Protein backbone atom coordinates (compact mmCIF):
# COMPACT_ATOMS: atom_id res chain seq x y z
CA UNK A 1 0.00 0.00 0.00
CA UNK A 2 1.44 3.35 -0.99
CA UNK A 3 1.97 6.21 1.41
CA UNK A 4 -0.71 8.27 -0.32
CA UNK A 5 -3.34 5.53 -0.06
CA UNK A 6 -2.49 5.08 3.65
CA UNK A 7 -3.06 8.79 4.22
CA UNK A 8 -6.34 8.71 2.32
CA UNK A 9 -7.48 5.80 4.47
CA UNK A 10 -6.44 7.62 7.66
CA UNK A 11 -8.28 10.77 6.58
CA UNK A 12 -11.37 8.67 5.83
CA UNK A 13 -11.19 7.14 9.32
CA UNK A 14 -10.92 10.57 10.95
CA UNK A 15 -13.79 11.89 8.77
CA UNK A 16 -15.89 8.97 9.96
CA UNK A 17 -15.07 9.81 13.58
CA UNK A 18 -15.97 13.49 13.09
CA UNK A 19 -19.20 12.77 11.25
CA UNK A 20 -20.49 9.94 13.47
CA UNK A 21 -19.40 11.14 16.92
CA UNK A 22 -21.55 13.41 19.03
CA UNK A 23 -18.53 14.55 21.01
CA UNK A 24 -14.76 14.66 20.51
CA UNK A 25 -12.39 15.90 23.21
CA UNK A 26 -8.97 17.02 21.99
CA UNK A 27 -5.97 16.42 24.25
CA UNK A 28 -2.21 16.68 24.38
CA UNK A 29 -0.83 13.33 25.48
CA UNK A 30 2.93 14.06 25.40
CA UNK A 31 4.68 12.34 28.32
CA UNK A 32 2.12 9.61 28.95
CA UNK A 33 3.54 6.11 29.07
CA UNK A 34 2.09 3.27 27.04
CA UNK A 35 0.58 1.75 30.19
CA UNK A 36 -1.04 5.10 31.09
CA UNK A 37 -2.50 5.33 27.58
CA UNK A 38 -3.81 1.78 27.92
CA UNK A 39 -5.34 2.65 31.32
CA UNK A 40 -7.03 5.66 29.73
CA UNK A 41 -8.36 3.56 26.86
CA UNK A 42 -9.67 0.96 29.32
CA UNK A 43 -11.46 3.56 31.43
CA UNK A 44 -12.97 5.16 28.33
CA UNK A 45 -14.16 1.84 26.94
CA UNK A 46 -16.41 1.50 30.01
CA UNK A 47 -18.27 4.62 28.83
CA UNK A 48 -18.47 3.54 25.15
CA UNK A 49 -15.71 5.96 24.21
CA UNK A 50 -12.42 5.56 22.39
CA UNK A 51 -9.06 7.34 22.40
CA UNK A 52 -7.05 7.81 19.22
CA UNK A 53 -3.80 9.57 18.43
CA UNK A 54 -4.20 11.61 15.27
CA UNK A 55 -1.90 13.43 12.92
CA UNK A 56 -2.70 17.15 12.84
CA UNK A 57 -2.48 17.66 9.08
CA UNK A 58 -4.76 14.69 8.43
CA UNK A 59 -7.16 15.88 11.12
CA UNK A 60 -7.39 19.31 9.49
CA UNK A 61 -8.00 17.75 6.08
CA UNK A 62 -10.74 15.52 7.51
CA UNK A 63 -12.31 18.47 9.32
CA UNK A 64 -12.40 20.52 6.12
CA UNK A 65 -14.04 17.65 4.25
CA UNK A 66 -16.74 17.21 6.93
CA UNK A 67 -17.37 20.91 7.64
CA UNK A 68 -16.21 20.50 11.26
CA UNK A 69 -14.88 23.81 12.58
CA UNK A 70 -11.65 23.02 14.42
CA UNK A 71 -10.11 25.58 16.70
CA UNK A 72 -6.46 26.35 15.84
CA UNK A 73 -5.40 25.00 19.24
CA UNK A 74 -6.89 21.60 18.36
CA UNK A 75 -4.10 20.90 15.87
CA UNK A 76 -0.92 22.05 17.61
CA UNK A 77 1.44 19.57 19.19
CA UNK A 78 0.90 15.86 19.85
CA UNK A 79 -2.89 15.57 19.67
CA UNK A 80 -5.18 12.68 20.51
CA UNK A 81 -8.96 12.64 20.64
CA UNK A 82 -11.37 10.92 22.94
CA UNK A 83 -14.67 10.40 21.18
CA UNK A 84 -17.99 8.69 21.55
CA UNK A 85 -20.68 7.92 19.01
CA UNK A 86 -23.57 7.05 21.27
CA UNK A 87 -22.28 7.94 24.72
CA UNK A 88 -23.00 10.94 26.88
CA UNK A 89 -20.75 13.97 26.30
CA UNK A 90 -20.72 14.88 30.00
CA UNK A 91 -19.64 11.35 30.99
CA UNK A 92 -16.84 11.46 28.41
CA UNK A 93 -15.73 14.88 29.64
CA UNK A 94 -15.80 13.71 33.27
CA UNK A 95 -13.68 10.64 32.40
CA UNK A 96 -11.07 12.73 30.59
CA UNK A 97 -10.95 15.49 33.23
CA UNK A 98 -10.66 12.93 36.05
CA UNK A 99 -7.85 11.13 34.24
CA UNK A 100 -6.04 14.42 33.52
CA UNK A 101 -6.17 15.33 37.23
CA UNK A 102 -4.33 12.15 38.16
CA UNK A 103 -2.01 12.23 35.12
CA UNK A 104 -0.61 15.72 34.58
CA UNK A 105 0.77 14.79 31.14
CA UNK A 106 -2.73 14.55 29.67
CA UNK A 107 -3.87 18.09 28.93
CA UNK A 108 -7.33 18.91 27.65
CA UNK A 109 -7.27 21.38 24.76
CA UNK A 110 -10.95 21.61 23.92
CA UNK A 111 -13.84 19.72 22.41
CA UNK A 112 -16.43 19.56 19.69
CA UNK A 113 -19.84 18.60 21.03
CA UNK A 114 -22.70 18.40 18.54
CA UNK A 115 -20.65 20.47 16.05
CA UNK A 116 -20.00 23.27 18.57
CA UNK A 117 -16.43 24.04 19.63
CA UNK A 118 -15.68 24.17 23.36
CA UNK A 119 -12.56 25.47 25.06
CA UNK A 120 -10.93 23.77 28.05
CA UNK A 121 -12.97 25.74 30.60
CA UNK A 122 -16.23 24.68 28.97
CA UNK A 123 -15.09 21.05 28.87
CA UNK A 124 -14.53 21.28 32.63
CA UNK A 125 -18.02 22.76 33.06
CA UNK A 126 -19.44 19.97 30.91
CA UNK A 127 -17.73 17.38 33.10
CA UNK A 128 -19.47 18.83 36.17
CA UNK A 129 -22.93 18.30 34.67
CA UNK A 130 -24.91 15.22 35.65
CA UNK A 131 -25.16 12.48 33.08
CA UNK A 132 -28.12 12.23 30.73
CA UNK A 133 -29.43 9.19 32.63
CA UNK A 134 -29.39 11.11 35.93
CA UNK A 135 -31.20 14.04 34.31
CA UNK A 136 -33.84 11.70 32.89
CA UNK A 137 -34.38 10.05 36.28
CA UNK A 138 -34.71 13.46 37.93
CA UNK A 139 -37.24 14.55 35.32
CA UNK A 140 -39.30 11.39 35.77
CA UNK A 141 -39.23 11.93 39.54
CA UNK A 142 -40.42 15.52 39.11
CA UNK A 143 -43.23 14.41 36.81
CA UNK A 144 -44.32 11.62 39.18
CA UNK A 145 -44.23 13.69 42.37
CA UNK A 146 -47.40 15.75 41.72
CA UNK A 147 -49.42 12.66 40.77
CA UNK A 148 -48.28 10.86 43.94
CA UNK A 149 -49.31 13.85 46.05
CA UNK A 150 -52.65 14.03 44.24
CA UNK A 151 -53.38 10.37 44.99
CA UNK A 152 -52.47 10.93 48.65
CA UNK A 153 -54.74 13.98 48.89
CA UNK A 154 -57.64 12.24 47.15
CA UNK A 155 -57.36 9.14 49.31
CA UNK A 156 -57.07 11.07 52.59
CA UNK A 157 -60.84 11.75 53.10
CA UNK A 158 -61.64 8.07 52.49
CA UNK A 159 -58.97 6.99 54.94
CA UNK A 160 -60.26 9.48 57.52
CA UNK A 161 -63.81 8.18 57.06
CA UNK A 162 -62.61 4.59 57.49
CA UNK A 163 -60.75 5.50 60.70
CA UNK A 164 -63.84 7.32 61.99
CA UNK A 165 -66.11 4.33 61.28
CA UNK A 166 -63.57 2.01 62.88
CA UNK A 167 -63.48 4.17 66.00
CA UNK A 168 -67.31 4.20 66.26
CA UNK A 169 -67.49 0.44 65.81
CA UNK A 170 -64.99 -0.10 68.64
CA UNK A 171 -66.92 2.32 70.86
CA UNK A 172 -70.16 0.33 70.65
Q: 131, 115, 125, 98: which is closest to 27 by C-alpha? A: 98
- Check whether residue 21 and residue 60 sit in a common domain: yes
Q: Are residues 115 and 141 in the same domain?
A: no
Q: Does the pLDDT at position 162 exceed 80?
A: no
Higher-pLDDT residue of 1, 79: 79
d(CA 126, CA 113): 10
**Does 147 lie in the same domain as 111?**
no
Question: Range of 61's domain?
Answer: 3-129
Residues in contact with 71: Cβ distance below 8 Å, sequence separation at least 6, in sequence order: 109, 110, 117, 119
**Order of all β-strands in the sheet with 23-28:** 49-54, 79-84, 23-28, 107-113, 116-119
pLDDT at 122: 87
Same domain, 82 and 118: yes
The sign of the dihedral angle between the CA atoms of 4, 110, 101, 47 is negative
| Domain count for the chain | 2
Per residue in 26-38, pLDDT (tens digit) is 999 988 899 999 9
Q: What is the pLDDT of residues 31-58, one digit of tens each?
A: 889 999 999 999 998 888 999 999 888 8
Let me know whether 29 and 58 are in one domain.
yes
- pLDDT on residue 39: 92
- The average pLDDT across 8-27 equals 89
170 and 145: one domain? Answer: yes
- CATH number, domain of 75, equals 3.30.70.1730
Do 89 and 137 have their domain in common?
no
Residues 8 and 50 in one domain: yes
pLDDT tens-digit map of 111-161: 988 878 888 888 888 888 887 777 778 778 777 777 766 566 667 776 776
Half-sphere exposure of residue 121, counting CA atoms within 13 Å on the CB side? 0
Whole-number pLDDT of residue 1:
59
> Same domain for 97 and 33?
yes
Q: What tens digit of pLDDT does each residue of 62-106 get?
A: 888 887 778 777 888 889 999 988 778 888 999 999 999 998 999
What lies within 8 Å, CB to CB, of 164 at 6+ separation is: none
What is the spatial distance between Cα 103 and Cα 43, in angstroms, rounded to a whole number?
A: 13
Amino acid sequence: MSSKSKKVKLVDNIKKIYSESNSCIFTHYHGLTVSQLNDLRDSLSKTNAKFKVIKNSLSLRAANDTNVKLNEDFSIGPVAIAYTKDGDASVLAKSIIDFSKSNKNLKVIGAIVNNAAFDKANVEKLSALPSLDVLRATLVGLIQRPSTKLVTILSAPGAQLARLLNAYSKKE
